[in-house]
Amino acid sequence: MRRLNGKSAIVTGAGQGIGRGIALVLAREGAAVAVVDVNPDTTASTAQEIQGRGGRAIAVACDVGVRAQVDAAVAAAVKAFATIDILVNDAQRIIGEINVEDMTDEVVQQSMQSGFMGTFYFMQGCFAYIRDRGGKIVNVGSAAGTEGMARWGAYAATKEAIRAITRVAAKEWGRYRINVNAICPASMTPAIELWMKTNPGDFNASLARIPLGRYGDPENDIAPVVLALVSPDFDFVTGQTIMVDGGAAMLR
């Protein structure tokens, strides 16, 4: 029996990369998935891929940094699937390679709006549905924050804010049987592939810091950890950050 039969999920940033991999795996395990992404073409592509594999999915184009669009996305998922059991917040605009002294208000605001605020909006928007029957939330952080990665100040701060709201919500919402956890993945996404081509020296240096010697695959390495966190097997795990990075960063 598939682990998520009868469940419905929202996955943001699901048009490509990690979000796509997560959406595919949750659907494979029986969840109906609302595929949310700012790019309508990739959003539709992932939804069609799920449907082609025999799963249920809807495509919802959404800028997660705009509350009205988030509310509309949640409403679309509820209309299609009756309720929401699982929320995975992966959407994030990646802005890096800027020294702290050169960061502008715009850079910080763009990072926070697409990452922290988008995560916050979806958590609030889904709460009313998850509260009544329990549910699972997984947010996506980054070792850029836990390690303090140089030249990634806005992105690192955004990801640490996401981990902070994860811990707070885990404490506040535990009484509703809502589990809230975070993952910090290192995965071969389109953004990492571009970085590999444009900055091969930096990429190779980062690769050398991974004990397992490779970046993870979104569908085969990262998504199974999310699947575990949203499955009944992990009902007693909440408020945690799981490093899914081949051992590159180890929380102490």
Which residues are the active-site residues? 155
Contact between 88 and 122 (Cβ < 8 Å): no
- Residue 37 CB coordination number (10 Å): 29
6: left (phi over 0), alpha (psi -120 to 50) or beta: left
- CA–CA gap between residue 57 and residue 155 (Å, rounded): 30
50 alpha-carbon distance from chain centroid: 18
CA distance 176 to 125: 16
Sign of CA dihedral 145, 246, 232, 73: positive
Residue 34 CA to residue 11 CA, distance in Å, equals 6
DSSP H helical ranges for the chain? 17-28, 40-52, 67-81, 105-112, 118-131, 143-146, 153-173, 190-198, 200-208, 223-230
Q: For residue 37, list its beta bridge partners.
A: 61
178 close to 239: Cβ distance less than 8 angstroms? no
